[in-house]
Structure 1
Amino acid sequence: MKRFLYPKINPPSFTWVNLESGGVSKVHEWIQPITTLNDVKRSKEAEVVILGVPLSRSSISASGASEFPEAFRRSWRSFATYNLDEDVDLAEMTALDIGDVPMHVTDISKCHDNIIQASAMVHSHFHDSKVCAIGGDHSITAMMVKGMKQAKPSDKIGILQFDTHFDLRDMSDNGPSNGTPMRNLIESGVVDGSHMYNIGLHGFFNTKDLKQYAEEKGVNYFTLRTARKKGIEETVQQCLEELSSKVDTIYLTVDMDVLDIAYAPGVPASTPGGMTTEELLEGVLAAGRHPKVKAMDIVCLDPLKDTHVQPTVKLGTHVFLTFLTGVMLRQSASN
């Protein structure tokens, strides 16, 4: 029997086989794959939905980020559902792995169209779920947000971006690559520039014309030095407070190249001077706690460049679990 999501979404590339044990303590025991039409009713009750987006042909840097969704799933066994720092057990939420967006072997535009269609379907069917897209390179963000807009056309969407780069390169030179997703959203009219907030820019990794374009379009940005002086959590909270007064829905995008190269060997464009692990997790937790943050993605993590113990893959999974910890804390605060 074909799944109700087929053909827009393929089954997960990797699933865990779990024996009935009567209890859930590990992430791989908690997150469940959707496999048949019988899961339709249960799926609508999911608080968290995971969608793999295995595309990295559109990356400016040579990248195997398309391999991250499977590596992400394989890493689950290393994590408990209980977060000691916040005294939160994620197993109290329903989390479903709905599979991967199908990708064309050579046609990047077809891949992007598939992502838009899959995103629109996911946001329509899982209307109240937190949609977590696991990339893939950063080009997927523009497509995921375009799909969200199709599903919720009346919503104004804002972007909270953790990134070393503006990702505002000229579309005429770079096309819909991982260097252009924010410009893509601005020029397509899906997201207003003033509804974008970027935290983490630093050093010698953006050209001056990109800064000028950001200012022309009203993009809000905080260099990492500025954010550190103010405090990462305080900066994120300020961005969310300003965004929430302007938009209906906030989309969080975490480009793993925001991390210092020392913390992210598995990121093709990682740089010196970036965020520490602690800073990124602190920022993501704050974002997860905000009620208007309805979706997120993790992008530009290449398991093929990681070391044999996969530290960057594990950190990517930690980012995902930290975001969901914030979601649970937000739910507890509202009860």
Structure 2
Amino acid sequence: MSFQYLKPNRNARFKDRYTTKVDETLTPYEERKTGDIGVIGLPFSKTSISLSGASEAPGTIRKALGSYSTYSGEKDEDYENMKLLDFGDVPVHPTDTGETLKRMQTSVKEMLETEACQKYVMLGGDHGVSFPSISAFKEKFGRIGVIQWDAHHDLRNIEDGGRTNGTPFRSLIEEGVLWGEDLCQIGIRDFSNAKTYADYAKKHNIHTYTMADVEQKGIQFITDQVIQKLENKCDTIYLSVDMDAVDQAFAPGCPAIGPGGLTARELLGSVAMASQHPLVKGMDIVEVDPTKDFRDMTSRLAAHVMMRCMYT
């Protein structure tokens, strides 16, 4: 039967014939299919040290892409022909954290081995998902440099709680995946970390830029500085965006919100600037908790972060 108005299995949303929404360029990955950007969901937040529903974020961020067009007015360029391949979400184990981390590392590695895309975006999840993701990138590309936007060092000890969303970069360093000098942290916030972990960062030659540094030097200067530190010694650069780097006024849907963070515009500008470098092959976006969000503000900002990485 032919329906006059109904379109089964399709949303009844308004369609402007001249406007392409970002989610319209997202298609499921199929074998031997190629595209520009690969997307994978890492929906895991059981290792969060605070109550978190970040496992729901991959879905809400994908949905938020439907709120924005592919046309950049600032660049006067339309990205409607850019192909985004969706590799789906990694199925987590219901009780075994170690098995879940293994599944995520294997899945990211398999995605990279397809060589289907130029860049890849990992949608977390809490920040613990960066450990398996970055480990997979290291296996594929060799020496890896990381730019981390975050209020926290994420260098907590493993003894008190195992691998959590507070330990990914300590885990990477102690597992020999990442050298401390190849990690640059932007937006570390005051009264948000322990002295022991600040000392650990110094001991391992991690490049740390606090919010005071951002205020004094400016986000563009710092972003340029960290790129220069990594570009001549690393085989690839990975961007890790913890959304709690942003002030709680702009990103209320994070488990560890706080005042005095980056503005939304500072984060977007910094990510866009870093993403222009040819060594940047991947980015994760983590610590979006849709259950704590207000009008999807944080998911929408995360979608914009994703777009700043894609459309460079």
Do Structure 1 and Structure 2 share a fold, with TM-score over 0.5?
Answer: yes
User: What is the aligned counterpart of 1:32 among 10, 27, 31?
Assistant: 27
Distance 1:233 1:19, change over 3 A: same
Asked if the contact 1:15/1:73 (under 8 Å) is kept, the reply is no
User: What is the aligned counterpart of 1:210 among 168, 181, 197?
Assistant: 197
Asked if the contact 1:90/1:324 (under 8 Å) is kept, the reply is no
Is residue 2:305 matched to residue 1:319?
A: yes
The Cα offsets for residues 143-201 of structure 1, whole Å up to 9 and x where unpaired, read as: 1011122233xx11011000000000011223111000000100000010000000001
Asked if the contact 2:32/2:116 (under 8 Å) is kept, the reply is no
Asked if the contact 2:87/2:111 (under 8 Å) is kept, the reply is no
Is residue 2:137 matched to residue 1:124?
A: no
Q: Count matched residues.
A: 304
Q: What TM-score, normalized by structure 1, do the two folds share?
A: 0.86
Name the structure where helix makes up a greater proportion of residues.
1
* The 10-residue stretch of structure 1 (223-232 or 160-169) with the greater mean CA deviation from structure 2: 223-232
Q: CA RMSD in A?
A: 2.1
Is residue 2:177 matched to residue 1:182?
A: no
The Cα offsets for residues 60-84 of structure 1, whole Å up to 9 and x where unpaired, read as: 1110000001111222221101121
Asked if the contact 2:145/2:183 (under 8 Å) is kept, the reply is yes
Is residue 2:68 matched to residue 1:79?
A: yes
SS in 1 for 2:122: strand
Cα separation, 2, equivalents of 1:22 and 1:299: 34
The unaligned stretches of length 5 or more in structure 2 are 1-8
Cα separation, 2, equivalents of 1:98 and 1:18: 25
Asked if the contact 1:121/1:151 (under 8 Å) is kept, the reply is no
5 Å matches for 1:45-64? 45-64=34-53
Cα separation, 2, equivalents of 1:297 and 1:16: 29
Corresponding residue for 1:10? none
Asked if the contact 1:65/1:302 (under 8 Å) is kept, the reply is yes
Asked if the contact 2:25/2:81 (under 8 Å) is kept, the reply is no
Cα separation, 2, equivalents of 1:251 and 1:303: 25
SS in 2 for 1:49: strand
**C-alpha displacement at 1:128, in angstroms?**
4.8
Is residue 2:32 matched to residue 1:41?
A: yes
Structure 1 segments of 4 or more deviating over 3 A?
14-24
SS in 2 for 1:56: coil
**C-alpha displacement at 1:98, in angstroms?**
1.2
**C-alpha displacement at 1:272, in angstroms?**
0.7
**C-alpha displacement at 1:202, in angstroms?**
1.7
Residue identity matched to 2:161 = N
SS in 2 for 1:158: strand
Corresponding residue for 2:6? none
The Cα offsets for residues 98-120 of structure 1, whole Å up to 9 and x where unpaired, read as: 10111011111111010110111
Is residue 2:270 matched to residue 1:279?
A: no
Corresponding residue for 2:4? none
Is residue 2:136 matched to residue 1:147?
A: yes
Percent identity between matched residues is 38
